[in-house]
Structure formats: C-alpha cells, structure tokens
Chains A and B, each alone.
Chain A
Amino acid sequence: MNLFRLAGDMTHLVSVVVLLLKIHTIKSCAGVSLKTQELYALVFAARYLDLFVHFVSLYNTVMKLVFLASSFTIVWYMRRHKIVRRTYDKEHDTFRHHFIVLPCLVLGLLLNEKFTFREVMWAFSIYLEAVAILPQLVLLQRTRNIDNLTAQYVFFLGAYRVLYIFNWIYRYFTEPHFVHWISWIAGIVQTLLYGDFFYYYILSWKNNVKLELPA
C-alpha cells in the first residue's frame, strides 16, 4: 500500500460519504444522477465478487463492504425514500445508461486478464467505472444551480482516480512485473472525462463564482 493509493481510497471514501450525508441530512438528491449511482452500484457488485473467497487484507475487505453498502444505500434513497425520491430530477437525468453497460460487458468478454467469470466481471467493472460518471456530468450541464455538495462529490470522485494514476506509476517503478493495462487505460480514460469538469470547477473556485458547466 503506498501513499497515493491510500489517499486515493480515502478521497473515494470522502466522495461517497459527502453524497450520502447530503442525501441523508437535507433529504434531497437534487442534481444527483440516479443513473450514475446505479452504474456505480453495478461496478462494485461486479468487482467485489471475490469479497468472501479471496481475502487480501482487513482494510480491503472493510473498504469493499463500505463501497457496496454506500452505493446501494444511495440508490435505495433515490428510488425508495418517500421524501428524497421526490427531489430526483427525473426529466433531466435521461442518459441512456444501458447503452453504456452492454459495450462494457462485451469489452469485458473480449479484453480481460483471464477468461473466467470473475475476471470478466472484474474487467467489465473497470470499463464501466471509467464511463459511469457520464450521466452525472450530463445532468450537471443541464442543472442550472449546481449545489456545492454535488460538485464536491464529483470533484472527489475525479480526484481519487488521479491519485490512483500516481499509485500505478509508483507501483510500476517499485514493483517488478506490475503491469495492469486494463486498469491503466480505463483509469486514464476515466480521468480525462473529468477534464473539463475539473477546469470549470477550479475556475469557479478561483473566481469564487457559482459552478456553471457549458451545455
């Protein structure tokens, strides 16, 4: 475990905690894309299939449980909670996310480290995570006044992947044979997708103005 990876995991944790607290405390999910949340729940479900069969460390197991629980709780809140569900911006969250799932599944079948069920699911989850933020970014472009917590959620979610890229660079130079093309390429694509969001987020933060994403 290196500092970049730990910082990345903590940043990822902060992003889901920020979102969960926002939804739980103000009972609102305005500006949050349910599709992105569903995609993330699917990412964790597909990636952590080895949760009970392959023990890496206590930290690893605990974090997997936290990410699984938080992502499914958020989806539950947005679908089932009588107050929160009414604040869901249904008419703007229209990204057809099943168009994302199928290509990622096909890619997982074609490009994986080993053609076993778990490995195909793992590769699928890596590709899916790379594009899972798209519905949320599209929704932000359509949302007039983006509330800070949602913007912070997206920012931390992007920041964690940037830190992971540093982690991969570090591990590449410190561990022999540490080569994971699938994670690396998908991780870089994922980070690039946040590119313009980061630009406008930092710009709004610097000029101390409300975050606006050009449509």
Chain B
Amino acid sequence: KSETVEHDEL
C-alpha cells in the first residue's frame, strides 16, 4: 500500500 491513500475526489 502506498504511503498516502490516493484521494482524487474533491
């Protein structure tokens, strides 16, 4: 799992 979670939504 990458260090930060990908939040691509506003």
Stretch at the interface among A22-30, A34-42, A116-124, A137-145: A116-124
Is the beta-carbon distance between A119 and B5 smaller than 8 angstroms? yes
- Chain B window 1-10, contacts with chain A (Cβ cutoff 8 Å), 1 for yes, 0 for no: 1001101111
- Contact partner of B10 among A64, A113, A114, A116, CB < 8 A? A64
Is the beta-carbon distance between B8 and A60 smaller than 8 angstroms? yes
Is the beta-carbon distance between B10 and A50 smaller than 8 angstroms? no
Residues of B within 8 A of A183 (CB): 9
Tell me the smallest distance from the CB of A66 to a CB of chain B, in Å.
10
Is the beta-carbon distance between B1 and A50 smaller than 8 angstroms? no
- A-side binding surface: helix, strand, loop or mixed? helix
Query: With A and B bound together, what is the CA distance between A114 and B8 in angstroms?
Result: 16
Is the beta-carbon distance between A12 and B4 smaller than 8 angstroms? no
Is the beta-carbon distance between B4 and A5 smaller than 8 angstroms? no
Query: With A and B bound together, what is the CA distance between A9 and B10 in angstroms?
Result: 8
Query: With A and B bound together, what is the CA distance between A64 and B10 in angstroms?
Result: 7
| Nearest B-chain residue to A59, judged by Cβ | B10
Is the beta-carbon distance between A60 and B5 smaller than 8 angstroms? no
Most interface-central of B1, B5, B8, B10 (chain A CB within 10 A): B10
Residues of A within 8 A of B8 (CB): 56-57, 60
Q: Is A54 an interface residue (CB 8 A)?
A: yes
| Nearest A-chain residue to B8, judged by Cβ | A56
Tell me the smallest distance from the CB of A140 to a CB of chain B, in Å.
25
Query: With A and B bound together, what is the CA distance between A54 and B6 in angstroms?
Result: 9
- Contact partner of B9 among A5, A50, A54, A116, CB < 8 A? A5
Query: With A and B bound together, what is the CA distance between A122 and B5 in angstroms?
Result: 10
Query: With A and B bound together, what is the CA distance between A127 and B3 in angstroms?
Result: 22
Residues of B within 8 A of A50 (CB): 4, 7
Is the beta-carbon distance between B7 and A122 smaller than 8 angstroms? yes
Q: Is A153 an interface residue (CB 8 A)?
A: no
Is the beta-carbon distance between A118 and B4 smaller than 8 angstroms? yes
85-105 of chain A: CB within 8 A of chain B: none
| Nearest 6 A/B pairs, CB to CB | A113-B5, A56-B8, A63-B10, A114-B5, A9-B10, A119-B5
* Chain B interface (Cβ < 8 Å from any Cβ of A): 1, 4-5, 7-10
